[in-house]
Structure 1
Amino acid sequence: MDSGDTSKYFQSTCKRLAESFFNTSCEALAKNLLGKVLARRLNDGCIIKGRIVETESYLGGEDAASQSYGNKVTPRNEPMFMSPGTAYVYFTYGMYHCFNISSQGEGAAVLLRALEPLENLERMTELRKRYRKSPKTTLKTKDLCNGPAKLCISLAIDIETCNRQNLISWDGMWLEDDGQDDLCKTIVAAPRIGINCEKKWQNKLLRFYIHDNPYVSKIEKAKMEFMQLP
């Protein structure tokens, strides 16, 4: 049994992803994460779940769009250099969090961009509404987690609680395989969003999402490739 399966909060109907799953190249992890389930246990014991439908890979090293470009280690990006399966949460625009998972390779990590909500949607909605100007406005399910910041808000993912945590063993958040791989046989590869660096890296197809999934943050209509997962 994988060491991650020992968590008392883990549901035996699904398989918790072990170290071997994360110990792969950044691009491979970004693709393999599609269709997997992200589970987040809140302080009161409530477990929120969503299926990963969109990711971006940041390769480190020569990747000019990566926070670890040139293999530069800082107090902020240090989790990108930690063992595969480490959570890297950072603050952006002075108000939002983004959640990444480290992979194989120095300074390489995968950004989670969007989830399809699966369990405890009411709690997700409650968390999201705390950050809305008009909390009484109806919030559609497809808008709960269709973006990296929305995803973090809806699952209460922040630096203080989640950064540097080992997703292989931590009881607060983990990844599951629920056997629904048939949901993402066809994926789309497209340029990453909001990248401001040399065009070579702006145009690389390092964003991946499940084809025809309505929970994706942005559907590419120009530069893109369709890929078949094994």
Structure 2
Amino acid sequence: MLLSVSKSPRKDISTQPTEVIQSPYFCKQENSNDRKVYGDRNIGCNENTEQNRETGEREGERKINESNSEGAGETVERSFDEMGERGTEQVSQGTSIGTTVLWSDDGGGDSSSGRARSSNLPPGMRLSEDFYGQDCITLAKALLGQVVVRVVDGVRISGRIVETESYLGVSDKASHSYNGKRTGRTGAMFMKAGTSYVYTIYGMYYCFNISSQEEGACVLLRALEPLEGLERMQVGRKQRRKDSATPLKLHQLCNGPSKLCQALCLTKDANNAVDLTSCDSFWLESGPSVPTCSIVITKRVGIEGSGEESANKPLRFYEYDSKFVSVRDKVTEGRMQSN
């Protein structure tokens, strides 16, 4: 299927030094002829170097992942950044989920047959409504590798999606829209595919979702690989940190749903119920899709309150071996590697 696209606006963006980073986005297959290599990518930033944090500060901070009373997969990260690199080493516990992948990254496709509608576009093209008009699970996988863009005060901020979760709408006990619940808060979940759903948790954090084809269904963006506007991301993330805190490392800027909202300056008041196909300050662009064999499929994070059946559904998707994800399932990754 050919997708309608439109050029994304480019505003006055300050030039930053670039660093070439080798990115191994390839299928881990025995037959080297089948391996897909996307090559090097220029990332407009210089990764911040950072010494080990003060011992007392490291010991005194922790990450909290928990759901609210509605069980919507909402995550709070309180001063997690003070833990330094230990955060990316966290491994999800509990029942291991299989890794069968039900989609293909071969351009085109039909969501009704379980095959994803890949963006199949040149890098940097705005994603259209046709792309978002897929079932929630298929869209969550197709979003991996695509780029979220924000323009704030003339500065372009962007990040490549590396982790998502599906919330299936009226049939999903972990979803805000379970049983067709429509409120002022959940209205965006029932809008056309490609609408942003930004909600508040604990009165101070935000989570960013994108509506899909089904009624009340959406995809939660859990983590990004920062690409542009790194200084502005640091400013956004510092608002919830100590003034004396050391600048965050690159992989700490967006490795969590509320963290990426801080980094992208996303709020409910300004960015909820936005049509991502037409907004001139908030949209998604095409990027190299993550190959099927590099997608880790596991259970969602922090929704235990929705019940065992819902909590154990394999509805979280992330790029294999990415250091930018929020929580890695090393058990499932190990099985993928052995295969």
TM-score normalised by structure 1 residue count: 0.90
8 Å contact kept, 1:103–1:110? yes
* Cα displacement string for residues 97-151 of structure 1 (whole angstroms, at most 9, x for unaligned residues): 0000000111000000000000111111111112102444231111000000000
1:50 maps to which of 152, 159, 175: 159
Looking at structure 1, the residues matched to 145 and 181 of structure 2 have their Cα atoms a distance apart, in angstroms, of: 32
TM-score normalised by structure 2 residue count: 0.62
Worse overlay, 47-56 or 214-223: 214-223
Report the RMSD for the aligned CA atoms in angstroms: 2.4
Is 1:156 the counterpart of 2:265? The answer is yes
Which secondary structure does the structure 2 equivalent of 1:64 belong to? coil
* Cα displacement string for residues 16-40 of structure 1 (whole angstroms, at most 9, x for unaligned residues): 1111000000001100000001111
* Cα displacement string for residues 184-223 of structure 1 (whole angstroms, at most 9, x for unaligned residues): 7510111110002121110000000000110000001346
Percent sequence identity over matched residues? 49
Is 1:20 the counterpart of 2:20? The answer is no
Looking at structure 1, the residues matched to 154 and 162 of structure 2 have their Cα atoms a distance apart, in angstroms, of: 25
Offset, 1:181: 2.7
State the partner residue of 1:187.
295
Is 1:79 the counterpart of 2:194? The answer is no
Offset, 1:62: 1.4
8 Å contact kept, 1:80–1:107? yes
* Cα displacement string for residues 52-104 of structure 1 (whole angstroms, at most 9, x for unaligned residues): 00000000111100000001111101100000000000000221000000001
Looking at structure 2, the residues matched to 185 and 128 of structure 1 have their Cα atoms a distance apart, in angstroms, of: 33
State the partner residue of 2:68.
none
Q: How many residues align?
A: 225
Computing the radius of gyration from Cα coordinates, the structure with the larger value is 2
**Counterpart amino acid of 2:241?**
R
Offset, 1:3: 5.9
Q: Cα gap change, 1:142/1:21 in structure 2, threshold over 3 Å: closer, same or farther?
A: same
2:148 maps to which of 38, 45, 65: 38
Offset, 1:226: 7.4
Q: Cα gap change, 1:136/1:223 in structure 2, threshold over 3 Å: closer, same or farther?
A: closer
Looking at structure 1, the residues matched to 219 and 138 of structure 2 have their Cα atoms a distance apart, in angstroms, of: 10
Looking at structure 1, the residues matched to 225 and 292 of structure 2 have their Cα atoms a distance apart, in angstroms, of: 12
> Within 5 A, what are the aligned runs for 1:95-174?
95-174=204-283
**Counterpart amino acid of 2:307?**
E
1:88 maps to which of 175, 184, 197: 197
**Counterpart amino acid of 2:258?**
A
Worse overlay, 182-191 or 86-95: 182-191
Higher strand proportion (structure 1 or 2): 1
State the partner residue of 2:169.
60
Which secondary structure does the structure 2 equivalent of 1:70 belong to? helix
Runs of 4+ in 1 over 2 A off after TM superposition: 1-13, 133-136, 180-185, 221-227
Looking at structure 1, the residues matched to 167 and 290 of structure 2 have their Cα atoms a distance apart, in angstroms, of: 26
Looking at structure 2, the residues matched to 225 and 203 of structure 1 have their Cα atoms a distance apart, in angstroms, of: 19
Is 1:176 the counterpart of 2:178? The answer is no
8 Å contact kept, 2:8–2:126? no
**Counterpart amino acid of 1:19?**
E
**Counterpart amino acid of 2:162?**
V
Flag structure 2 segments of 5+ consecutive residues without an equivalent.
14-121
Looking at structure 1, the residues matched to 244 and 258 of structure 2 have their Cα atoms a distance apart, in angstroms, of: 17
Looking at structure 2, the residues matched to 107 and 88 of structure 1 have their Cα atoms a distance apart, in angstroms, of: 11
**Counterpart amino acid of 1:68?**
S
**Counterpart amino acid of 1:5?**
K
State the partner residue of 1:219.
328
Which secondary structure does the structure 1 equivalent of 2:321 belong to? coil
